[in-house]
Chains A and B, each alone.
Chain A
């Protein structure tokens, strides 16, 4: 991103673009990586509801899709809350880079 100087900044500390934080990717913070195992997923959407980083993608039909690794900080709330299917979790945490 190019450097901004005071002449080019909007006055009064106003941010004119809504949701511009999406330009700042927080995925690099992650040390643990959630892995989605689709066959164990019952589409309960709890991972989507409890994700603090809005990093669970949803299809147009409202179904769960892959993780958004650009923003996922790897906290693991989704994996802990995942009810899974017959005791098999649909989300497991793996060490990043393995």
Chain B
């Protein structure tokens, strides 16, 4: 199958595979991520879902927003579930009981179900080499249960389990760099994407589906409830995350790092932090060190990523929009 051309008008003629009527919050980033992932390809897709906002609000009783076969079993095993489905499919095709229709297998999980709770099953599925794509929509906390910190929560963020107050000024640890951890599994394709750069995201999905073996994508997904921002700025914040290099867009294909989008001008991190209420306390005079530390961390990570990309022959400048 040839890859689908990514022209907005052509794409708009297609049928949605994730439909309206789901009960995600107004202005949520996750449905944008899911629709872009499913839109990028015409392959038949089977998806599994870790427990999380996306799962509980896209399939309630007899109402499902999915137009693809979709399975949910528990919080911690989205990757194990889809790897089982994939193994079953392969076996049935081998036995001649099923015609091979080039079905693609995708698992969706939030950052809680990927970074923390689902990590062992994800790591296992990747190590076993199942032909699947795992998409993590990272909103940086357990938003579904009311904003508890996860290992994806950025430094300084105020959550209900690390509340900013007299005792601590928000989360004191840096976030875990899961994209790099997945790359360390030695899988053929790992990428980081943002729904604001839809072309980049969809190209990465297309690329992933053409590669055999385990693939992982980490996608930022703004949450206006947890991030304490406005309902209309999900895409704007996803863009700011990229432009401040808090969330650089890159891919690691067979161990080769490539930056797929380099902002013309790297914006200061405060541009990303300021619109979010979860970082409000960091702007108090006594917490100035936090802003400095957060900026330093982002600078170091970005510097390091650029060095890695340069080691493999520089970065390619991807066209925007």
Contact = CB atoms under 8 A, between A and B. Distances in A.
A45 interface: yes
Contacts of A68: 20
A48 B66 contact: no
A19 B19 contact: yes
A55 B20 contact: yes
Given A15-B64, A58-B13, A52 B233 contact: no
Determine the interface band of chain B, counting residues with CB < 8 A from chain A: 35 or more
A40 interface: no
Contacts of A43: 9
- Main SS at interface, chain A: loop
Contacts of A45: 8-9, 12
A6 interface: no
Contacts, number: 127
A29 B26 CA distance: 8
Interface in B1-31: 8-13, 16, 18-31
B20 A21 contact: yes
Task: With a 10 A CB-CB cut-off, give which of B12, B18, B25, B66 has the most chain A CB atoms.
Answer: B12
A21 B8 contact: no
B20 A18 contact: no
A44 B8 CA distance: 8
B63 A23 contact: yes
Contacts of B231: 74-77
Contact of A80 (B16, B20, B29, B232): B232
B88 interface: no
B235 A77 contact: yes
A96 interface: no
A15 B58 CA distance: 12
A3 to B, nearest CB: 11
B19 A79 contact: no
Given A22-B21, A54-B19, A81-B235, A49 B13 contact: no
Contact of B35 (A15, A17, A54): A54
Nearest to B233: A80
Give the 3 A-B CB pairs with smallest separation, nearest first. A75-B27, A76-B232, A21-B21
Given A24-B63, A45-B8, 13 more contacts: A17-B64, A19-B19, A20-B21, A22-B20, A22-B21, A45-B12, A49-B36, A49-B198, A52-B24, A54-B19, A70-B20, A76-B27, A77-B234
